[in-house]
């Protein structure tokens, strides 16, 4: 099952019929995806499931119905085990951005971290999960698929937020303070801390 966020509300892509009743169920093959997205943005639908019998075809089917933006981002630790966050649009977020032509997704993630925060000397230590969310730009809805990487850096210089990306603040956050930060973050960012959270919320030994 995939979880796609639309205006921070969950849209579940599944090949199983759930016994829950507090949601609306639609057939992925026949749904007018734009109409559904508009209703979610208008708060007319709080939670929805899109059903497709073939699990391997679910994401492929969704991609055929909406343009896709590919992005890379980083969950970055410093020598103290603190985690790098950015603040923009009134919420805490992790550095990420779209790929450039011919660029490997891992390189995208490292480039975006450096551009958005000023942090360099990055080293990818692990590939994390992908997150999915739908956004509106220039009147069109798009599906953003972000590939996340765990990174480490021995950078101890001044953090510099990328002004033209609307980044107001960059900060290293101690793991103990991350739960409070996540209360004012996005649902897809919270997902990164749910999987293996016991491992991520320990002060990592820097290697």
| pLDDT in 10s for each residue of the chain, 207 residues | 899 999 889 899 999 876 666 678 889 999 999 999 999 999 998 888 999 999 889 999 999 999 999 999 999 999 999 999 999 999 999 999 999 999 999 999 999 999 999 999 999 999 999 999 999 888 889 999 999 999 999 999 999 999 999 999 999 999 999 999 999 999 999 999 985 543 444 444 343
What local confidence, expressed as pLDDT, does residue 169 receive?
96
Element (H, E) at 121: none
Shared-domain flag, residues 6 and 81: no
Number of domains into which the chain is organized: 2
Shared-domain flag, residues 92 and 169: yes
| Assigned domain for 46 exists | yes
Shared-domain flag, residues 120 and 72: yes
Shared-domain flag, residues 51 and 91: no
Token code pair at residue 140: 């069109």
Shared-domain flag, residues 157 and 93: yes
Shared-domain flag, residues 96 and 180: yes
This prediction has a pTM of: 0.88
Pairing of strands 68-77, 140-153: parallel
The answer to whether the CB of 74 falls within 8 A of the CB of 113 is yes
| Assigned domain for 110 exists | yes
Shared-domain flag, residues 101 and 158: yes
């Amino acid at each position: 099952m995939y979880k796609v966020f639309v205006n921070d509300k969950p849209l579940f892509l599944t090949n199983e019929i759930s016994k829950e009743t507090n949601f609306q169920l639609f057939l992925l093959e026949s749904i007018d995806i734009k109409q559904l997205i508009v209703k979610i943005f208008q708060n007319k639908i709080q939670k929805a499931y899109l059903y497709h019998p073939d699990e391997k075809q679910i994401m492929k089917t969704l991609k055929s119905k909406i343009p896709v933006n590919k992005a890379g981002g980083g969950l970055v630790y410093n020598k103290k085990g603190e985690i790098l966050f950015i603040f923009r649009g009134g919420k805490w977020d992790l550095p990420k951005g779209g790929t450039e032509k011919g660029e490997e997704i891992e390189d995208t993630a490292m480039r975006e971290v450096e551009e958005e925060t000023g942090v360099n000397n990055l080293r990818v230590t692990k590939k994390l999960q992908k997150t999915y969310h739908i956004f509106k730009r220039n009147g069109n809805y798009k599906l953003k698929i972000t590939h996340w990487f765990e990174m480490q850096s021995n950078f101890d210089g001044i953090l510099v937020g990328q002004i033209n990306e609307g980044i107001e603040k960059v900060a290293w956050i101690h793991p103990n303070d991350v739960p409070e930060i996540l209360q004012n973050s996005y649902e897809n960012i919270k997902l990164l801390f749910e999987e293996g959270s016991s491992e991520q919320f320990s002060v990592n030994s820097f290697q």
